[in-house]
Every structure is written in C-alpha cells, then in structure tokens.
Structure 1
Amino acid sequence: MKEKVVLAYSGGLDTSVIIPWLKENYDYDVIAVCINVGQDAELEGLEERALSMGVSKVYVENVKDEFMREYVFPMIQSGAIYESKYYLGTSIARAVIAKTLVNVALKEGAVAICHGCTGKGNDQIRFELGIAALAPHLKVIAPWRIWDISSREEEIEYLEKRGLPVPMKKEDSYSRDRNMWHISHEGLELEDPWNAPNYETLLKLGVSPEQAPDKATTITLTFNQGIPTHLNGEAMEPSALLEKLNELGGANGIGIEDIVENRVVGMKSRGVYETPGGTILYKAHEELEHLTLDRETYRYKQEIALEFADLIYNGKWFTPLREALQAFVTSTQQVVTGEVKLKLYKGNVIPQGSSSPFSLYSEALASFTTGDLYNHKDADGFIRLYGLPLRVRALKAAENHK
C-alpha cells in the first residue's frame, strides 16, 4: 500500500504540475485538499480537474465561518495592521489553511504535506511553521525548492509531455490571492513602485474613490465584546456580515491600499490590497475602543497590535506568544460593546457617533462647567508636580551657567 501525501491544491498551473511530479518522484498516493476561505467561484470544477490529474481523493473543505470566528475576529480585536497599511488578508488565511491541511493529513494517515509556494515568498514560512506547530512528525515537500522547473513555459511543457490537461491562465493577468476578507494584486505595472496602479483593470471588490457615488452611505455596526454582530440593527452571521460590508465598502471606494512591504525573507515587494469590509470593521472597532478603554490600556494595546501583526505576518499564529497576547486582548474586549455609526464616502470611513453601556465618557466631567469631580483650581498643583522634572532641569542648567 502506497504512502499518502496531502497536497494544498488550488487548481492552478503550479499545483496541477505538482500532482504528476509527486507521483513520479515519491510514488505517493496524492490527496488533493482545497480549503475554501471565500474564493467560492474559483472552486467550480476543481474536484473534477484534480481527479483528471491523477489524485486518489479530493477534499474541498469549507472553513469560512471558522476562518471568521477563530482567526479574523481575534485579529480585529487585536487591532493588528502590518506596516500601518496591510490588513493581513493572505497572512491570516494561511493559519486556518495550515490547520485544515494537518487535520486531513492526520485523518488520512498521510506521511507528508506538499505546498506550491515559491522559495521567495512568505507563504512557505506560514504553512511550514503551522505544520511544525500542529504536527511536527509530518514531512513537508516544497517542489519549488527542489525541482528543475524554472518557468511557466516549462510547467506547461511538463504537462503536455504527459498528455495531461493544462489549466490556462491569461498571460496579462495579475498574480492574485483571494479570500472572503480581501484580495491581493501583484505583478505587471505594480512591479515598478513608480508606476501608478491601473485601477480600472485591477480592482475586483470595488471601484476607485473617483468612481464612487457622490452620495454617502451611512451604516450602524453593533459589537458585543469586540465582535461585530449586527449591521443596521440586523443580526447577521459573520460571513454574511462581511459579504455585505464588502459590497458597501467596495461600492464606495473603501479599503484600497498600495504598499511596498517587507517580506519575511528580507526582500521588499509591492502590491495592492482590497479590504473594503475589513477596513470598515477595523475603523468601527477602533471608535468603540476609544469610547470604552482607559488611556493606559489603550496605549499598551497599541503596542500589542504591532507585535500581533508581526506574528500573523511571519506565520507564528500557533505560538505561545500569540496565545498569551490573545489572552490580554480578549480581556480588554469585555467592555468593547455598543454601536458605531459610520459614513462611507469616496474611500473614506467617517465616524458619525458611538455609544456603549461601558462608555468612559462623562459629559458632565468633560464640559466647561465646574462639577464635584473636577475643580479648575486643582490643575495648579497637578501641573506643578507634572512639570517638576522640567523645572528642576531648567534650574540646574541655570546654576551651571553662573
């Protein structure tokens, strides 16, 4: 009986070539696993294509709700944004994909997991760190770091020589990664950072701000302990909520980021990311935190967000540090409950008001009227003590110049 390998299968050219390559070089039974994190339309006919390439079994795993609840929502709660622009759409999806690959491998008794990531990218690291954390006994096979194939043309020739179907892709297409949270675009004019993105042909989830309507869209989002639950008063499941926000955000030109980012492997890469619904959720969540978190907690949480973003980007979701930081974040979210009104207009998410039963804002205290909690005269002593180091430093400097 042959040993089994689980292949992370997308149906594209790379993973189609990997199937016969694995069978020829390792004599494995190949089990193709496609994980649906929101790329629904791209999965049509995928099972038939995989079987036609010679796999012994195909799994198409729908993990959209798990992806939202166990990965995206904790990320939103943390406030993690990589290098101030990237909402980590591809990065966070790799964690749930790695976990699902491991689950299938364990179920099937496979000895290895294979992926089609190149040796230059981040995804090889994210997949392999996830596998190492969850099933360290499994072997990892990365063909792009092993085989002699070096181009798309050689891949096509490889399939044609074996009489296997070639999944064709447009020559002029961008390199894209899509899930329910975002879509990324790389290649073509984006390879030169001086070139402006061609938004007319590039965008898939929405329009540019210039093409957005002249009339704003106002929405209300409801959160319960940092988790979005309602849109305009209507309770919605996570995937349905995000889908609607993607629609509204995309139509209003929201969530387009052009970034030159630092990859884990050390090089810089340029891409355009569309995250319309995610951008709205992050903004709404932040507004509610401003209302409900005290200054020290909010400040420290900002530091945590930077580390949290690095952990996700670097493929370290399944680590003790991420779990420990998540515990801190979850604790802060106990009071992040309430409603946020937002205006969506030509690429902007404009706050229109927020309310919470845990609000720390006191109108009586913040007004100019003197009340029982605050007397204007109290500021004299406070400022004298608060500025004491500056006063001492100035006095010492004056003495030294005598």
Structure 2
Amino acid sequence: MPLTPRERVLTVLAHEAPDRVPIFIGADLTTGILSQAYLNLKTYLGLAPTINAYLYDWPELGAPRIEEVVLERLHSDVRGIQDRFPASTYQRNRARPPGSPYWDDWGVGQTEIAPDFYYPSIHPLAQAQTPEDILSYPHWPDMDDPSRYAHLSAEAAQLAQDNYYAIVAAPWLIAPLERACQLQGMETFLVNLIEGPDLAQALLEKIKSLCITHLGHFLAALGKNVDILILGDDLGAQNGPLISPRLYRHTLKPIHAEIIAFAKAHSPAKIFFHSDGDISAFLDDFVEIGVDILNPIQTSAGQMGNLGDLKRRYGKHLIFCGGIDTQTVLSTGRPDEVRQEVKRVIEILGESGGYLLAAVHSITNEVPPQNILAMVDAALEFGCYHH
C-alpha cells in the first residue's frame, strides 16, 4: 500500500524510510514558486495563466498561493498555512499610489527595485544610537491583533480532518537577524553587533519578544493540528558564515534557542529552520538548540555542496530539506541534467530516509516549467525505497 502524503512525511520525520522521498513544494515563500515561473508553469500545463491569490495576501512579495490542481501535479506532500498581516497594513498598502513603497507592519519600507520586485530598503532604525532609541520606536507591530490569526484554526482543522497532507505552519519571518537588518540596514546592524553590542542586543531582544508573542497566538490557533513549523534566519554567505560562529554563539544562538524552546513547549510541530548560504559552521549549534529539519541545503555555497559529509555527520540528527540547486541546475540546466541532479541528491541525502525533496529557496522566475516538472517527476522515479 502506498502511504498517504502525510504518512510519508511523518515517516521521514521519524528518521525512517517511507515508500518514496516526499516532495516539499508550496508551503511558504522559501519552498514556493515566484510569479512569472508560476504563470509559465500554468500555461505549460494548459491552465489559465492567472494568479488567484498570493501568499500572505501580499502581491508585492511576488509569490502566488499555488492552487491545488498545480500542487497535485507537482506531487507535493505538504500543505502550508500562513498567518496574515494586520488589516490596517493591507488597507494602507492598497490605498497607496502605484509603484510607491510598500510599508510592512514593522514600519520597514519595501521599494520596487525592478518591475514587481520589491526589496526592504527603507530602514526606519538606521539612525538609532542607543537602546532607548529602540524602545521608543513608534512603529513596533501589534502582535495581539486578531486579524493576523482569525482564519488559522479553521484551516488547520480542515487539513487535520482530511488527514491527507502534512500540515506545515509558516508564520511570516520569525527571523531575528533578518528583522534587525531590515530595521537598521544590513551593514549598519552587522557593524553594531561588533561595535555597538548594547544597541544590537536591545534590538534583538525586542524582536525576540515580539516573535514569541506572535508564535504564541499562531500556535494556539493551530493547537495539535500541525506537523512542521517553519522558522529561520539567514546566517550564511556564498562561501562561509555571515557572522563569526563565536559572535553567533554569544548573541544570536540564545535567541534562536529561546524561540525554538517556546515553539516546542506550545506545539507538537517539528522545527524546520531555513538558512541560506554556507551555514556548515553552525550545524552543531542548530542540532543543540533543537532544529529538526534543515533547509535549503544550498549546494552551490561553500561546504554545503559536500552532501556526503553532511549526511554522514548530521543524518542522525537532522532531516534535510532542499538540495536541488536553483541558481544553475534548475535555471539553466536541461531537463535531463535536472533529472541527473535529483537522482544524485536523492542517492546521498535520501539514503535510508531523512530527506524531503525541495528546490534551494523559491523556484525563481527564470526556471522553465519543463525543469520544474523534470525535478518532481525524477523524484517519483528515483525516490522510491525498496523495503
């Protein structure tokens, strides 16, 4: 008997081998498909090239909510549940002049740096000098706003009742370092971590307390109806860590540990941690603070390309999710090259279970539909476990 998608995912989460490698597409932004690639895929599949809804109801994010008919063709074993922004954030942005900056609920301005591509570039705390400047910032988000969470219970209960797909909860950006960089500007904040540690610590602590309030409401709404919770923080650059492991252990690790401990105390969900780049220097730390699933395994970044070593060293502790290179293989490879790469990655990371197949981060706009389908079809072909 083939397993249901949910049974398949839960088998992997238990570090056992299911009937085939699960496919993890469409749960959130980091496992999604960007707008143009999605429209191209729908056209290729003979579907109307329309986007009916966006993740987080946020068109400027550029990530559609993938429709059920497409998720089924992609054989995705997971279904995502996202929170919303406060109603006031949507009202303000829908009323703004076209092409003007999008303001998020933290007061960060996202500007259109290419057609329909927005990037956080207005940093409201760039000038902050002292911890007092942090505390007196007038635009801290209201994490108690019920419009963020009102829809979650019913959505989760329906998925749980169907009991067919694994339920993946994706609250928007529970990522303290990333938030701090958006609020201050990346360079400013990274300098403050070293030269203005009191300011940096005050900012991270404030973000952490808001994230925990947010998670409290989010997880309470889901109750037991959740299998995986997506958290993360971008700690890696192309060839090594973004900050030194020593600085990470001193400053950020306790904050990540506290957020993960809170989530585990308030939910049965396994912790999925998304961190781009070469994060090999932090993997022992992630295991120690309770990360269960590591994503996106950016094989093009430094040591993360050594999949055999990753599997040998961490396969007993971490489930790997990702590993199918978006930068070159999916973007510019031929479908047969995509197939070969899927086969290669499954043979290493998928050995005796412990692997969820996904692209490295979102499937970007230049990825042709033939390659998206080659990836998932190869997973069905090469991902079977012989019991």
TM-score by length of 2: 0.28
Whichever structure has more strand as a proportion of its residues is: 1
Please say which structure displays the higher CA radius of gyration.
Answer: 1
Q: Relative contact order: is structure 1 or structure 2 higher (C-alpha 8 Å, sep ≥ 6)?
A: 2
TM-score by length of 1: 0.28
